[in-house]
Amino acid sequence: MPGALWTIEEIRREILALSDSAGYQKPDFYRSFTRRLKELLGDFQVLKGDDTLRTVDIIYANPERAVAKITEQKTTILPLLSLQFEGVAVDTARQRPLPVLVEKSFWDAQRQRAVRYMALAPLATTLSFGINIWGKYVEEVNQLTEQVMLKFRPNMPVDVREDEIYQAFIQDVSEASDLVVSDQEDRLVKRTVRFEVQSYIPSQVFRFTNTSEIKTMNYELYVKEISELEPLESFYAGGGAEFALDSGSSMFALGINRGAEVERMINATSTTTTTS
């Protein structure tokens, strides 16, 4: 409907239809989470018997693979941390109804216009992880357990991106030393710290173009695209400038100098808006 004036309900129906018909796009959600967790949990050290400090490596592996790495590769140095993903569950307490729309607007300095993005409400989930602490001696495992637990006070912020910060909470700490190798000379001490992250799985994002079309993109492409844009709120704070919102409506073609007026105009679209 190029150039036509759309209501919020029409936009919502169009986005729902586009979501239903869109093909599968592989998300980078879990990989981003795991990569950031490894960074947050990868700076631990242990005090060895000769009073020297050694930084402890962290790998992503389930317990079976970690044991295989330790026992089969003679170059593996203990102690060692292994991170594992244990599952995902829907968090009904934080869930939003499907029709809810999330909206963000940015200022494109190169094109001298504001750009609007919308998405359906993300899925509220709880991600479960475990960090396994492997060592030959109880003392070094104790040192690492203390450092891991002190990351949670009582929560550990997981800043996947600058504007995406999730909270992680410890669930339990368990001993599992008897689950590893049987050779007493190679006996391993293992302790597991399990934690949960309150997260949201992002849905597809829809960009409003200046020809009154809606462009579908996955979340990773959206993140890449906005990395070169300025949040519109920051643009307001700087005093604004004359610009046209990236929209097919003539109501956004007026030059505006004050952020408050722009705010008023954009808020007016909560009942009636033009796609762009």
CATH number, domain at 253?
3.30.2000.40
Contacts 24+ apart (CB under 8 A), 42-48: 42/81, 44/81, 44/144, 44/147, 44/148, 45/147, 46/79, 46/140, 46/143, 46/144, 47/143, 48/140
The arithmetic mean of pLDDT across residues 10-31, rounded, is: 76
Select, from the ranges 14-18, 24-28, 193-197, 264-268, the one with the highest average predicted confidence (pLDDT). 193-197
Does 82 have pLDDT greater than 60?
yes
- 82 token code pair: 């292994």
Which of helix, strand or coil describes residue 245? strand
**Residue span of the structural domain in which 165 resides:** 1-276
Q: pTM for the whole thing?
A: 0.73
CA distance to 92, 97, 127, per residue, from 201 (Å)? 13, 14, 10
Confidence of residue 255 (pLDDT cuts 50, 70, 90): very low
Is the pLDDT higher at 253 or at 23?
A: 23
Which of helix, strand or coil describes residue 28? coil
Nearest to 194 by CA among 150, 142, 129, 144: 129
* Number of independent structural domains in the chain: 1
> For residue 95, what pLDDT is reported?
81
Q: Which residues contact 61 (CB under 8 A, 6 or more apart)?
A: 69, 82, 83, 84
> For residue 162, what pLDDT is reported?
77
Tens of pLDDT, residue by residue over 176-186, are 765 445 555 56
Does 5 have pLDDT greater than 70?
no
Tens of pLDDT, residue by residue over 223-242, are 888 888 888 776 556 655 44
- 231 token code pair: 């949040």
Is the pLDDT higher at 226 or at 260?
A: 226
- Phi, psi at 223, each rounded to 5°: -60, -40
Distance CA 171, CA 29 (A): 22
Residue 83 · residue 41 · CB < 8 Å: yes
Does 136 have pLDDT greater than 80?
yes
> For residue 56, what pLDDT is reported?
94
3-state helix, strand, coil in the chain (%, to 5): 30, 35, 35
Distance CA 269, CA 206 (A): 16
Computed over every residue of the chain, the mean pLDDT equals 77
Tens of pLDDT, residue by residue over 197-208, are 999 888 888 888
Measure the CA angle with vertex 56, ends 55 and 61; round to 5°.
155
Residue position matching structure tokens 């475990």: 130
The arithmetic mean of pLDDT across residues 55-69, rounded, is: 86
